[in-house]
Amino acid sequence: MASRANPWAALRGLSIRTRSLRAACVEQQHHQAPVSRFLRNTIGARRGYADGSNTTSTPSSSSQNQPPPPSNSAEPSATTQQRPPPPSQAAPGTQVSPYHELFAPNFLNTEALAALEKAAAEAAEAAAGDGLLFHMPDRAGKHEQLQDRYHPVVHQITRLLMRDGKLSKAQTNMGLILNHLRTSPPPKINPLRPLLPGAPPPSQLPLNPLLYLTLAIESVAPMVRIFAMKGQAGGGRALEVPTPLPARTRRRLAVGWILDAVNKKKSRGSGRGQFAARFGDEIIAIVEGRSSVWDRRQVLHKLATVSRANLNNPIVSGSGGASKSKSKKM
């Protein structure tokens, strides 16, 4: 055994260990040649980028067995590839290709953004009308009154249904009438008693109860009214003259006839909604041509047809007074 103080023995052991380590490293490099080559290229590219050069080495099939060029070479090799500098380091006036953004402007992202905007709008609308079954009514304008928010037909009929000044009760009955028309089956139109021209088909009437109610009232409303002039027909008899009516007056007479027919009907059950049910049944009977209101309208129109000859009466036309004044002057 060599002495610890002998330096030559220590150097001999160091050389033997160095040879064994070198052989092991060569064998490991033989198995990991592609990985080491990739690491050398990457390190060389990083060094060149840090030094300010824009040359990077890319592995190719022709240079797999050749060592990579040194990073401090002045001229780039044929296998190098130009890499555009970042926009912050680009020279002014040069065109630099933009980097790939995370959200590219394609049709998929456009549809996704549109869906998000729609969902946000619906959420804002739901938050604005939270707790309401329907949308809030529009506020009345500066020169508008509160009752102008409602349809004119609904407003007029509600006032005609009111008794003893109980407007809230009349409004409740009006809502029950519209609900009765909405839930009723489609009516069967009688061709002998047609509705107004341009009316929708019967299957669409329950879908719009307001149109249902307006169409029934306007169809059965009289066109004229008989105006009696007392003592003008001679012998103390009244002179009957037909007079055309405006729209509100026609609706008022029609609703009065409907109320007379409703009051003669019997209730089919018990409860507070019996008046609304009877009124709704009468509206359906009018549309189907089964109501007695049609007979009253027909009688009034026949009487107006008979009385239209009185329009040529001198008292009505105004020619009789002029002839009497001429005779007095003569």
**pLDDT, tens digit (0-9, with 9 covering 90-100), for 31-54:** 555 545 555 555 554 444 444 444
Residue 44 lies in a domain: no
What's the domain count of the chain? 1
Q: 200 lies in a domain?
A: yes
Find tokens 């055309």 and name the residue: 244
Q: How far, in Å, are 6, 56, 171, 211 from residue 71 at the CA level?
A: 45, 9, 93, 88
Q: Is residue 106 part of a domain?
A: no
Give pLDDT tens digits for 235-252.
Answer: 778 888 899 999 999 999
Name beta bridge partners: 239: 229
Q: Is 270 exposed, middle or buried (0-12, 13-18, 19+ CB in 10 A)?
A: exposed
Please indicate, yes or no, if residue 87 is contained in any of the structural domains.
Answer: no
CATH number at residue 219: 1.10.455.10
Distance, CA of 85 to CA of 61 (rounded, Å): 27
Contact in structure between 137 and 232 (CB atoms under 8 Å):
no
Q: Say what angle helices 209-220 and 274-288 make with each other, to 10 degrees.
A: 60
Question: Which residues, in sequence order, are CB contacts of 242 under 8 Å at separation 6+?
Answer: 224, 225, 226, 227, 304, 307, 308, 311
The b-or-e profile of 158-172 (16+ CB within 10 A means b, else e) is bebbbeeeeeeebeb
Residues 125, 123: Cα–Cα separation, whole Å: 5
pLDDT for position 320:
59
Kindly state whether residue 105 falls inside one of the protein's structural domains.
no
319 vs 83 pLDDT, higher one: 319
Structural domain contains residue 101? no
Evaluate whether residue 256 is within a structural domain. Answer: yes
pLDDT in tens, 198-225: 899 999 999 999 999 999 999 999 999 9
Q: Is residue 224 part of a domain?
A: yes
**Structural domain of residue 225, as residue ranges?**
148-312
